[in-house]
Structure formats: C-alpha cells, structure tokens
A and B are shown apart, each in its own frame.
Chain A
Amino acid sequence: MIRFTKIHGLALVADQGVRTMRGVGVPLAGAMDKLTLRLLNYLLGNEAGAAGVEIMGSASFEARNTCQLIVGPAGGLVRVNGVTKRSGQLILLAKGDQIQVQPSDTGLWTLLAFAGGIEVKGMWGSKSTQLSLASCNPHYGPLKMGQTLHIKKPLSPRISRDTSAANSQINRFCLPGQRWLASHLPIVYFTQGPHWPANGDDGFLATMSPSSNRMGYRFELTKERMACSASDGRSYVTQPGLIQCPPDGKPIVLMADCQTTGGYPRLGVIPEAELWKITLLKPGQTVYFQAISIDQACELNNYMSLLERQYRELSKVS
C-alpha cells in the first residue's frame, strides 16, 4: 500500500484504458504513454494491462509495505528518502520509505509502475481514472492528498529480487525517447488524413503550445496557418493520435482523454507506435511531423511489437 502525502499537479491511476464504451462517448483514457507503461509492466513481471500511477507535476508518497517500483518515461525522476533514482531502474521500497516524484525531464507526465499493479475498483474493464466523469462523481476524479492505494501481490515475480542483478539486465534496454529527444530535430511520423491539403507538403514543423491537456496537445505552426481541405461539417469518429485542424489553423493532436467524435477537419493520424513521442514533449518544444504511408505506419507498429516482445522475454529470463 502507498499513501500520498503531497500532490502538486495531477495524479491519476492509469492503465491501458476503456476499450468498449467509446460508442456512448466514454474516452479511452488510461496512461498518456501506454507503450511505456506496458514496458515497465513487463520489466516488473506484470501483465501488460496492470495499472500504475501517472503524475503531472510533483507528488510525495509513503510506502506502507515492501514493494517494487520502476519509473518512466525516459527522463522520469524520483527521490527515495532523499536519494535520486532515475527512470528504468528497479527500486525496492521498504515500509516507511518516503518517495518524492519530481517533474519529469521529458514531457509533462511521470509513470510509476509497481510489481503486482495498483488495485482499485475499476469500470468497464479498466482501473483508470475517468476525468470525463469526475464532474458527476468525485470518485472518478484524480487522486487526492491523504489517499491510499493498494498494490496487488505480484502473482509470479519473474524479476530478480536482487535489484543490482535485475538492473544490470534492465540496463541492456532503454526506454524509448532517450535517443529521440537528443536528436537535432525530433521527427514524429503520421499518415495523411482526408482533409490534408491537396497540394500540401509531406510534413510540417510545429511547436507544442502551453494550452495543451490530456484531451489534446495543441501546436503552433512555425510558418503560416495550416490550410486544410474543407470538411463537410459532419462529426467523425476520433481516436488518440488524430491530428485535427480547427478554424484557427493550429493543429491539435488528440491524446488519451480525447473525445470519441469530433467535427474539425482530419489532417492525419499518428500511428500507435509513434504516440509515445508526443507525450515526451513539453510546451515550447518543436518537432517535425513527417508524412508516411499507412503501410509504413504498420511497419512501425510491427517494430514496436518486436520491442515489446523483447521486454517480455527479459522479464522471463530474470
């Protein structure tokens, strides 16, 4: 069990989200960076869908019993009893340990995955906080100071209890993003949508705007406004990764808590394998959105599935 003693920002329970209620408007929700949460879960010997905690800003909590923790994404940072621990490291917590979660060096969100996973009463097959329903019932709202969370007993801890041995194995892998953000101009791949300008380029340069949230990240264009093809005014099914073009011409990339339908023209879609990159951005950071074919998007997804398989294998041999 853990108990939150401070929350400056937003703290949520997050897993892979609700996948069966979009037809009545319930957002997918869940972790902003679902890929990294799955990778952390594999490293801990959890099921891919185990729930963790996602924090924007900073927070402190106390371990009420022994548990194992890994922090993500690349750039995530915690202090355990004042000692700094980086992301991707297996951390063994003892009863009474005080943990401070610092704002991540990369992106706005820090993920905490625990061996066994967080146990809360879920809904529709997900344990994720549903912010879209928080105005109806505070039970669905974010975590609060003083709140305790139960951690399930790991069913078959496949990872070594010897943290240094486990970390030497984990260190052979790195969480996505460490190299990507260090590049001169980070690139995000997308596939063009029905309203991509007919004579447009095959990409655009854009800077993340501070008016971004869990529903959508907004971008300012470095050149002129986006002149997308006109929409016929219908509302379409949306999905995380969809790039919309509102009338002000500033693209919005829909994120985990996005609405399930929307009427703004559809510029394109970021493939699932690329979405983690967006979550690593902070306001003011510039990226180049590069168009690829849907065939190539599937290849990226396939590459990511292979990476996931490697992580799963790692936890089996530990």
Chain B
Amino acid sequence: MPHHMRGQVHIVSDQMIEIDLRELTQSLCISVFQQLKQSMGNGVPNSPVKGEWLLADRQICYLLETGASNFADLQWLAQSIERELHGFTKAGQPEKTTTHILTVQWGGEFGPDLNPIAKQIGLSCAELVSQIESLKLTVAFNGFLPGFSYLLGLPSGMHIPRRDSPRTAVPAGSLAMAGAYMSVYPVKGPGGWHLLGRCDTSLFDVTRESPCLLQPGDSVRFIGVSQ
C-alpha cells in the first residue's frame, strides 16, 4: 500500500512557496524533490509566474523570479503544488549517487574551533577527529555559497549550535560543523559555523559541466593528513 505525500504547502512571501517536509527523512525529501522536477519540470506548468525549485533541509521551495503582483497567482501555485504532491508516494531513493573521500588537515590555524568544540562535546581533539573520520556523511542539499554542501550523519551528541555572531570571512576549504551539519566552505565567505580543519579538494569549478562536485544523496568521508 503506497503512502501518499502529506507535505505542508505554505505561501511564505510574495516570492516563495514552501513545502515543509519536516516529518520525512532528508533522503525521502531528495526523492520528492527529484519527482517534483521530473513531473513538473523546471517550473510549474501553466503558471502565470516563472520560478525555480530549490531544496533545503526537509524543505522544498518554489522561488519566483520576481515578486508576485497578484495574490491569487500565489494561491493557484500553492494549490497546483499540493495537488501534484498528493500524487507522489513515499517510495524511492535518490538517483545514482557517488562516494567522495576528502582529505583534511585538522586543527591548528586551519581549525581554530577544534579544541573548544571537542571540550564542549566532552572529548579530546584526537577522539573528536577519530569519530568524524569514522562517519559516512550524506549530502543533504547544496546552498549558502557556491558549491557548499550540507552533510548529515553526525550523531546527536555532536550537534553544536551555530556561533552567536557569524565570522565575516571564513577561508576557502574550511571544514566546519554547526547543528546537525558538517560542510566544507568551497569559497571564502562569511559564516557562523565552527571551524575544525582545512580541505584542499575543489568543490566548485565553473569550468565543469556541473560546477558543484557534491550532489544531494552522495556520500562523503573525511580522512586526516598531516599539516
């Protein structure tokens, strides 16, 4: 018996319709996202306003190119998405995925937060590094900065809130953690995450056909190298 999708479709703003999928796993959300793009294409068919599908943490958004001039258009879009969603089943896994192994230089100037975060979790630095290296993380979605992938799979005891105030500049390659996520900053940018080390793999390359190396559903492992 298939389980039909029951996402919550909200009009968030004059430019955004949100499907809140907080009750699903991220893996199922990726599958729903792929089904939506397959069945509706890059936009909502017959829609009076253009937009694009975006995936975040158990959230899928339809973001309009420009702010809607008519609230009825937003209501029509929300209803169309809801109808489409009802036809989906909670089946299927993300399409073909890849496993990536990324090397990391832990701590020191590359990971100024490794010590305080290990202390906060109640581990030594070596224990924290060893735990992270034993994990197989999953790319949940991409966003924030070009090529920035949100990786899930940290045990709940290692979920640390974001910094109270973000750093204005985090160096490219920084391996960082915050909340339930880990990630590598592919380019220099601001950020409120805790910095644990540095990774030298190019995660975003405009010359590649698909500039972003890591895709939703892919697996990632980190292996330490000496500085």
Contact = CB atoms under 8 A, between A and B. Distances in A.
Interface of A: 19-27, 123, 130, 132-133, 135-137, 191, 193-194, 211, 213, 215, 232-237, 239, 241-242, 246-248, 259-264, 266, 269, 271-273, 294-295, 297-298, 301-302, 305
B67 A271 contact: yes
Contact of B144 (A233, A235, A241, A301): A235
Contacts of B147: 24-25
A272 B58 contact: no
B143 A298 contact: no
B69 A302 contact: yes
In terms of DSSP, what is the predominant structure of the interface of chain A? loop
Contacts of A213: 168
Given A23-B142, A269-B16, A272-B66, A263 B187 contact: no
Given A133-B146, A237-B54, A269-B13, A298 B67 contact: yes
Contact of B57 (A23, A191, A194, A236): A236
B61 A298 contact: no
A24 B148 CA distance: 7
A135 B206 contact: no
14 contacts: A24-B212, A25-B145, A27-B146, A132-B189, A135-B188, A191-B13, A193-B12, A211-B168, A234-B58, A236-B56, A263-B179, A297-B13, A297-B14, A298-B70
Q: Which 6 A-B pairs have the closest CB atoms?
A: A272-B67, A261-B143, A269-B13, A135-B188, A302-B69, A234-B57
Contacts of B15: 239, 241, 269, 271-272
A235 B190 contact: no
B180 to A, nearest CB: 7
A295 B13 CA distance: 9
B188 A233 contact: no
B210 to A, nearest CB: 8
Contacts of B14: 191, 269, 271-272, 294, 297-298, 301
Contacts of B148: 25
Contacts of B190: 215, 259
A100 to B, nearest CB: 30
A22 B69 contact: no
B53 to A, nearest CB: 7
B12 A298 contact: no
Contacts of B45: none
B142 A24 contact: yes
B90 interface: no
A81 to B, nearest CB: 39
A26 B147 CA distance: 8
B48 interface: no
Given A132-B145, A261-B141, 18 more contacts: A21-B146, A22-B63, A23-B143, A24-B204, A132-B146, A133-B204, A191-B13, A233-B180, A234-B22, A235-B57, A237-B56, A239-B13, A239-B63, A261-B150, A264-B162, A271-B13, A271-B14, A271-B67
Given A136-B187, A237-B54, A271-B14, A294 B74 contact: yes
A194 B12 contact: yes
B116 interface: no
